[in-house]
Homo-oligomer: A and B are copies of this chain.
Amino acid sequence: MALPSTDTSRHDNTLAVIRTLRDRGPAARVDLGTLNGISSATVTSISAELLQQGLITERPPEAPRPNGRGRPKTLIELAPNAACVVCVKLSINEIQLVVGDFAGQVRHSEHHTVSTLTLNADDLEALLEDKISALCTRQLTGFQRLAGICLAVQGVVSSQSGTIIWSPALSFRNAPISARLAKRFHCSVLLENDANCIASLLAAQPAYADCPNLVVIMLGYGIGMSVLISGVPFLGANGSAAEFGHSKYQPDGALCACGRRGCIEAYASDYALYRAAADPLELPVGDSAHPSEQQMQALTQLALHGNPVAKRIYAEAGRALGVGIANVLALFNPDLVLITGSGVRGFDAMQTAMHGAIDNALVAELRGTTRIESCAWDRDMTCMGGIAIALNATDSQTLLDSQTAREA
């Protein structure tokens, strides 16, 4: 058995220091040592190297403490402009681009309305190249390097091969997208399912630190899911695991956007709710197959203000969601199910029926002690998760590049 080399250990310790600074902000060397179980001497040596590479900076010492006890600690922090990453979120008829700096902060965000369903594979590549190029020209000039790009896509993706297998935002399938963008922009390009980006972001929050087995359900135009097992996204054999939206509520039930019947999504997604309501209720005019936020807000308000038709529609959606969650509890037995996504706007109108369906479906031993909670939605959550994933994935390369640049 080979013993671990000192270099590997030095590299791991350096990454640990960088990630602690990113998660916690400016910190003293001694605290970085304690938090990561590294000696003070090692932190001092690592930070000297990172300072020389321009990856961290020292804060000017604080004023002496009023009580006069102890010397003020010198804090170090990540140099935000040492590198940046870009997250591109592709969803139905919208592309969002977000720039994150080396310290993990969002520095720029832009949205573009695009008829994604009319694109072919070449159009999509050309479009992404154009948008990212324009972003590089306008927004990335202050950064020393573009470390990586994360594509966050609704649907089934193979992260390993960089292929979008199937997305509700696209009318074509099996698009190998990562390789071409990586060649064009000379950086690593990660492809991630959008729900996995959000789950990674939420899992890092202190409120969910005791929930290593975490299920995140994303309600919206479609219904997505991410499953973290012991903190790691569960992808299955080919990356198509956790397709909660297409698990079944009623065999041969309502028609789903996937073309099959009875999926949870065919009852609890935005288009399903709007479809059920469009005929009996007077709702804002618009694309009823792809209802807008305004249309969905109007429908949700009707349900929350007691309109019996809207209440019935949301209750049925809650039952479908509840039966689906019951299956998830029986099969995954997670610590926590978090429900979020833009569709969480209607959660209050669904949750009584949802909890009723779960309790009706499972005996107490299988219902277990899993917490089931909703989580306020922020449309930037996906990209914030994508930026965190891209930074973590590219830290090693950034270190190497900085070292090479210094030596050159």
From A103-111, A114-122, A354-362, A384-392, the one touching the partner chain is A354-362
The answer, yes or no, to whether A205 is at the interface (CB within 8 Å) is: no
The answer, yes or no, to whether A347 is at the interface (CB within 8 Å) is: no
Q: Is the beta-carbon distance between A242 and B331 smaller than 8 angstroms?
A: yes
Please, how many angstroms separate the alpha-carbon atoms of A227 and B332 in the complex?
10
Q: Is the beta-carbon distance between A229 and B234 smaller than 8 angstroms?
A: yes
The answer, yes or no, to whether A248 is at the interface (CB within 8 Å) is: yes
The answer, yes or no, to whether A68 is at the interface (CB within 8 Å) is: no
Q: Is the beta-carbon distance between A246 and B366 smaller than 8 angstroms?
A: yes
Main secondary structure of the interface of A (DSSP, over half): loop
From A51-59, A94-102, A137-145, A256-264, the one touching the partner chain is A256-264
From A27-35, A322-330, A400-408, the one touching the partner chain is A322-330
Q: Is the beta-carbon distance between A361 and B251 smaller than 8 angstroms?
A: yes
B residues in contact with A250, CB < 8 Å: 250-251
Please, how many angstroms separate the alpha-carbon atoms of A360 and B7 in the complex?
54
The answer, yes or no, to whether A4 is at the interface (CB within 8 Å) is: yes
How many monomers of this protein are in the complex? 2
Partner of A251, one of B9, B319, B335: B319
Q: Is the beta-carbon distance between B251 and A368 smaller than 8 angstroms?
A: no
The answer, yes or no, to whether A370 is at the interface (CB within 8 Å) is: yes
- With A240-B368, A368-B240, A369-B238 as known contacts, state yes or no: A248 contacts B361, CB within 8 Å: yes
Q: Is the beta-carbon distance between B229 and A366 smaller than 8 angstroms?
A: no
The answer, yes or no, to whether A131 is at the interface (CB within 8 Å) is: no
- 15 other A-B residue contacts (CB within 8 Å) besides A1-B9, A237-B335, A243-B333: A166-B363, A166-B365, A229-B234, A237-B333, A237-B368, A238-B368, A243-B331, A247-B331, A250-B250, A251-B357, A251-B361, A260-B362, A327-B327, A327-B331, A331-B332
Chain A residues in the interface with B (C-beta under 8 A): 1, 3-4, 9, 156, 165-166, 173, 213, 227, 229, 234-244, 246-252, 258-262, 319, 323, 326-328, 330-335, 357, 360-363, 365-366, 368-370
